[in-house]
Amino acid sequence: MLILLPAAAVAWESVLAGTPEASPNYKLTEHWWGMLIDISKCIGCGNCVRACQTENDVPDGYFRTWVERYHVSDENMTTPQVISPDGGKEGFPVASEDGEKYFFVPKLCNHCADSPCTQVCPVGATFISPDGVVLVDQTYCLGCAYCVQACPYGCRYIHPAKKVADKCTLCYHRITKGLTTACCEACPTGARQLADLKDPKDPIHEFLKTHAVQVLKPQMATGAKAFYNNLDGSVR
């Protein structure tokens, strides 16, 4: 009987708390969000980085999304040279026409289904929501930065003013209102597309079936949901 009490308390609390007030017609259980990134469409303009900073008040020098430019030289195919000046916010230096391989890779939180970052949080301040978005409860976060070092993709940082973990929310305040993310809205070439894996009408299903799509660091089995089309093997 005594052992049962805490469990009963938790159950009672969840009854008291009710459902959170998101959008009126938004149901947490009917979505499973991810993103599709088409490397062959990215032109490295930095629109996504600027849009993200505007939409989410990301401080200068910190990035929820950023763009990397890879240069795979003919001599060393396995060790690419990667640059990302100011996250690619103001574009990139012109790549020379030397016949070597250059391409852009936009990066953001992969919103992993089995994320290492949420598993290490000692206080339950970061979590994957029932609709598949990895979020930080900034009123609960202690700023210990365990999650920052646990993320294999380097997608988290400690907010310099708030002193708590901060990261991509997949524009949760937008996608719950039926809008797309700020980065997708601002992308001029459609290189980034928000995907709802639970929506049978979402074009992501057809795309995944008909294209060679990869995730970053699949060997880490993080269940990453940022799907990359035409991803080069040198990308880390």
Partner 1 sequence: MNAFKDAGHLFRFAGLFVIAFLAFLAIRAYVVPKSFGQYGHYRGAAIGEIAAHTVKFAGHQACETCHTDILDVKKNGKHAHVNCEACHGAQAKHADDPASVTPVKPDTAVLCARCHTASAAKPKGFPQVVPADHSTGLPCETCHNPHNPVPGADAGGAK
* Chain residues that interact with partner 1, rule: CB under 8 A: 2, 5-6, 9-10, 13-14, 16-17, 20-23, 26, 28, 40-47, 51, 54-56, 69, 71, 91-92, 94-98, 100, 102-104, 124-130, 135, 137, 139-140, 169, 172-174, 176-177, 179-180, 182, 185-190
CB nearer partner 1, residue 101 or residue 205: 101
CB nearer partner 1, residue 12 or residue 218: 12
For residue 222, the minimal CB distance to partner 1 (Å) is 18
For residue 221, the minimal CB distance to partner 1 (Å) is 20
23 within 8 A of 175, measured Cβ to Cβ? no
CB nearer partner 1, residue 74 or residue 219: 74
CB nearer partner 1, residue 3 or residue 75: 3
For residue 110, the minimal CB distance to partner 1 (Å) is 18
Query: From CA 60, how far away is CA 73, in angstroms rounded?
Result: 31
For residue 174, the minimal CB distance to partner 1 (Å) is 6
